Amino acid sequence: MESLPTAAQNPLHIVEMSAKRRRTRFAADSAAAHALNRASYDSIAAAWDSARTTLQPREVAFLDALLEGLEPRAEVLDLGCGSGRPLAAEILARGHRVTGVDQAEALLALARRRYPDGNWILGAVESFAAAQTYRAIVCWDALFHIHRSLHALLLGRMVRMLAPGGRLMLTVGGSEHPAFTDTMFGRRFFYDSYPPGKVLEVLVANGLRPVLAEYLNLPAGGRDKGRYAVVVEKP
Ligand SMILES: C[S@@+](CC[C@H](N)C(=O)[O-])C[C@H]1O[C@@H](n2cnc3c(N)ncnc32)[C@H](O)[C@@H]1O
């Protein structure tokens, strides 16, 4: 496994930097992570699409919790939607409207072709801001591709884009592990996450109520850093 020399992994270096340089360094880290993941997802789009076809049983349970009680044709936002399959496709099939946002043009092109009823936007989760609110928001297996220094800010933005009574469905990494890169289909990807407890703390501090929360993979100590899923509701 290779590692990017992130600020999070080099705390002594950070201490020696001025606040301005530290901000520049974090911005450079996040931009590098974003560029790496975008190029990598674009180049593995076909392999990813062939592998990611059906919902896993716990994903169905989380989707059920997300969409419970929603009126027909409710507006749902999917941040890091990939090819739209299987999550956005299932939400559309259940009679809702989906706006999907993803940085990877090749994956989004698949979503556009297969699901013309969806509203597919090429863009970064970091810069997406909507004037409207959504009845439900999904950010599934995408936040952990973004530098953790941005997570609290992005979670706060998701909460503001959520309509009262709306729910947010999210996965994060399962441990305290520092930022790292790993390979998938022969390409390198950047990963970073706060541990689940801290993410829940941020969500609760933003006024959200946990509905469903559990480990999908326990951190195995080696390559698997774990993966934790939540559905939270805005009062
Ligand atoms: C592991 S895939 C998950 C896709 C989909 N949510 C699913 O569950 O099948 C991660 C997706 O997030 C997208 N992504 C990662 N970082 C992103 C970012 N900063 N802005 C927009 N999309 C991002 C990738 O392009 C990729 O499509």
Q: Is 125 in the pocket of ligand 1 (CB under 6 A)?
A: yes
Query: Structural domain of residue 201, as residue ranges?
Result: 10-233
Residue 143 pLDDT: 97
pLDDT score at 24: 55
C-beta 89 within 6 A of ligand 1:
no
Is 64 contained in some domain?
yes
The whole-number pLDDT of residue 55 equals 98
Q: What atom in ligand 1 is closest to the CA of residue 83?
A: 27
The CATH number of residue 138's host domain is 3.40.50.150
Q: Determine the atom of ligand 1 nearest the C-alpha atom of 82.
A: 27
Is residue 208 in a domain?
Answer: yes
- Phi, psi of 225, rounded to the nearest 5 degrees: -90, 0
In a domain, 5, yes or no: no
Q: Give distance in angstroms: CA of 8 to centre of ligand 1.
A: 22
Q: In a structure prediction context, what are the per-residue pLDDT tens digits for the chain, which is 235 residues long?
A: 223 333 333 332 333 344 555 555 555 678 888 899 999 999 999 999 999 999 999 999 999 999 999 999 999 999 999 999 999 999 999 999 999 999 999 999 999 999 999 999 999 999 999 999 999 999 999 999 999 999 999 999 999 999 999 999 999 999 888 999 999 999 999 999 999 999 999 999 999 999 999 999 998 877 778 999 999 999 9
8 Å CB contact between 191 and 144: yes
pLDDT of res. 2:
29
The burial of 214, by beta-carbon neighbours within 10 Å (0-12 exposed, 13-18 middle, 19 or more buried), is given as exposed
The number of folded domains in the chain is 1
What is the model's pLDDT at position 209?
98
CA distance 28 to 181: 16
- Domain assignment present for residue 2? The answer is no
Q: Residue holding tokens 């999210």?
A: 170
- Output the pLDDT for position 66: 98
Report DSSP state, residue 117.
T
139 domain-assigned: yes
Q: What is the pTM of this model?
A: 0.90
Does 1 map to a domain?
A: no
Are residues 133 and 99 in contact, defined by beta-carbon separation less than 8 angstroms?
A: no
Angle between helix 105-114 and 19-43 (nearest 10): 50
Residue 116 lies in a domain: yes
